[in-house]
């Protein structure tokens, strides 16, 4: 396969977010905020900091707030200018100029693979592309996606973000078999979606960040819906395993699963303790509470 720089990311954001109801009844779950930034902005910033210049968001019903968030808002800009709120104005300006944004709709939520297929015409036939799921925030020295992109550059093959999880948690994730491999980057020998604890080949879990090659996208077109009627990216990755190398990479960084309430709370505490205006008072407050 010829080397191609990865410029685009596909981010599926059409899900209903039922785990956060009623908060998500009238707003997208991706717009829930961690301190003062919506979750989706952290994901987009991860992509931009990794060198991605084109962001493809696969949206659905009730997701307009996401488009508005990354667009300009002239009235707000005007008012901030009038009130001389310079730093707020700069931040608002930065958000809409971070990258080029494209939106496609997924009319029915038929799985993450189906969402990715809605964006296929925006990706060149020979073009590898990044895929980020909207719930997985990883905080570390270098963006998790950049780490995957480096693995791709070395191997020119699909890459899956991976993390060791507690054995009791394997049934919540795609689980990767790396045949006892001990390195951070390994060849994947098998993928099992949400196995029983008894049947899991390892405790190495798939986290929602991937480098997808044209071969994987071609395989995705042929994937049949699973038992739940969903077309899943993991099934396309499984089907290419027989004919080509797929790598898993245990990234450096701390993962927050913002699709779960506990993960979301942990992320809130992390970003609260990082926030330049709040960190001192927030740390003081946390130390003072009795649990």
* Contacts to ligand G1P by CB under 6 A: 112, 133, 135-136, 173-174, 193, 205-208, 232, 234
CB of 171 to ligand G1P, least distance (A): 10
> How near is the Cβ of 240 to ligand G1P at its closest, in Å?
15
* Residue whose CB is less far from ligand G1P, 80 or 205: 205
- Least Å distance, CB 173 to ligand G1P, is 4
- CB of 11: closest distance to ligand G1P in angstroms? 13
Nearer to ligand G1P, 149 or 236 (CB): 236
Quick one: 47 or 206, whose CB is closer to ligand G1P? 206
CB of residue 161 to ligand G1P, shortest distance in Å:
9
Integer Cα distance of 87 and 258 in angstroms: 28
Q: Are 13 and 59 spatial neighbours (Cβ–Cβ below 8 Å)? A: yes
For β-strands 54-59 and 100-105, DSSP reports them as parallel
Backbone phi, psi, residue 108, to 5°:
-130, 135
Of the pair 128, 174, the CB lying nearest ligand G1P is at 174
133 vs 272 by CB, closer to ligand G1P: 133
For the four alpha carbons of 57, 63, 67 and 70, in that order, the dihedral sign comes to negative
Instruction: State the burial class of residue 54 (Cβ atoms within 10 Å of its Cβ: 0-12, 13-18, 19+).
Output: middle
CA 211 to chain centre: 11
Cis peptide leading into residue 44 (ω within 30°): no
Q: Report the nearest approach of ligand G1P to the CB of residue 234 (Å).
A: 5
Q: How far is the CB of 89 from ligand G1P (least distance, A)?
A: 35
Cβ proximity to ligand G1P: between 171 and 268 the closer is 171
In the complex, which residue's CB is closest to ligand G1P? 174
Contact predicate 142/251, CB 8 Å: no
Q: Residue 183: CB partners within 8 Å, gap ≥ 6?
A: none
* Nearer to ligand G1P (CB atom), residue 19 or residue 37: 19
12-to-100, 203, 244, 285 alpha-carbon distances in Å: 16, 26, 25, 37
CA distance 158 to 173: 19
């Amino acid at each position: 396969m010829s080397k191609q720089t990865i410029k685009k990311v596909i981010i599926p954001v059409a899900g209903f977010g039922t785990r956060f109801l009623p908060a998500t009844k009238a707003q997208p779950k991706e717009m829930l905020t961690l301190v003062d930034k919506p979750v989706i902005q952290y994901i987009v910033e991860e992509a931009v900091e990794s060198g991605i210049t084109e962001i493809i968001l696969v949206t659905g019903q009730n997701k307009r707030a996401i488009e508005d968030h990354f667009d300009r808002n002239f009235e707000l800009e005007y008012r901030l200018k009038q009130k001389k709120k310079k730093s707020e104005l700069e931040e608002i300006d930065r958000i809409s100029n971070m990258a080029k944004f494209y939106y496609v709709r997924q009319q029915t939520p038929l799985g993450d693979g189906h969402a990715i297929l809605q964006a296929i015409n925006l990706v060149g036939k020979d073009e590898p592309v990044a895929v980020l799921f909207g719930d997985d925030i990883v905080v570390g020295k270098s963006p998790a996606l950049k780490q995957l992109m480096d693995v791709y550059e070395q191997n020119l093959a699909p890459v899956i973000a991976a993390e060791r999880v507690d054995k009791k948690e394997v049934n919540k994730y795609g689980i990767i078999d790396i045949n006892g491999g001990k390195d951070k980057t390994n060849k994947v020998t098998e993928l099992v979606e949400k196995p029983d604890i008894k049947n899991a080949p390892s405790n190495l879990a798939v986290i929602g960040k991937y480098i997808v090659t044209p071969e994987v996208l071609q395989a995705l077109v042929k994937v049949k819906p699973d038992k739940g009627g969903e077309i899943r990216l993991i099934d396309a990755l499984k089907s290419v395993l027989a004919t080509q190398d797929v790598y898993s990479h245990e990234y450096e960084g701390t993962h927050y699963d913002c699709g779960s309430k506990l993960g979301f709370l942990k992320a809130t505490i992390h970003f609260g303790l990082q926030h330049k205006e709040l960190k001192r008072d927030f740390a003081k407050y946390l130390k003072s509470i009795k649990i």
